[in-house]
Amino acid sequence: MDFFDIMRSELLKMIDENDWHDAPVRVKVKTLTPEEAIGNPEHDDYPLVKGRERMMEADFEGARGQAFTDQFGKFDGAMSMVAELPLENSFQRAVLIATLNAVMSRLGLCERTVHCRDDEPPRCAQELVNFMRSRYGNPKIAMVGLQPRMLEHLSKRLEVRVTDLDEDNIGTEKFGVCIGGPEETEANLQWCDVALITGSALCNATLQDMIGYKPTVVFGVTVAGPAKSLNLDRFCPLGR
């Protein structure tokens, strides 16, 4: 079943169970500035800081849910309007995902729906090394979606290959690893022991095609609620 059909069904189920069809329940989604999303980290090489992608945040009855996307904007509407979005582009998908995260957070169905900040990304990356080694030993890792601190720490201890969509990254070497383009992703997934995939792959509708090659860990706040709905293994220890 299509991932977005599952997520839409999950949202409709929550609307039914909480009788939100005709109630004046609204969801507001906005695009965060880099400082709002990640604070003031020591490094400036994060995609959020570079500005090519932004974090969209949904607010539902005081609960916040976020989604990282390359198409961003604003949305203000009833819950039923979110469930009816055609999901034809990354912006519409980000609205659905951020809303699902906010609603599931409000209902206590998922945790860590807001990005970590300031000095926390390096700590997250170190925890990822420990997580990978404790669970998989010394795995070969295919990272899809460059997260600089994660690559910095992983590459010191493990063999890593990386692919990314950002043309500024493709073909460059970071922490001793050459960053490949998306055409290399399938080969890397066949090569690896573990796939480590950014949650923003859900917004650009590529995640589902990458599941099933090898054991997979998705990372970040974007997949907080979807990971529950889709039964995905998620890593995001310092989200809020």
pLDDT at 69 > cutoff 80: yes
Q: Please state, rounded to an integer, the average pLDDT across all residues of the chain.
A: 89
* Res 49: pLDDT: 45
pLDDT band at 60 (very low <50, low <70, confident <90, very high): confident
Dihedral sign, CA of 143, 148, 149, 151? positive
Please state, for a pLDDT cut of 90, what percent of the chain lies above it.
Answer: 70
Question: Which of 118, 68, 115 has its CA nearest to residue 93?
Answer: 68
Single pTM value for the model: 0.91
DSSP code per residue over 27-46: EEEEEPPHHHHH---S-S-S
Amino acid identity, residue 78?
A
User: What six digits make up the tokens of 91?
Assistant: 């912006």
Neighbouring-strand partners of residue 77: 27
User: What six digits make up the tokens of 220?
Assistant: 């970040």
* Domain chopping of the chain, boundaries: 3-106, 120-235
* Res 39: pLDDT: 60
Averaged pLDDT for residues 70-99 = 90
CATH of domain 120-235: 3.40.50.11590
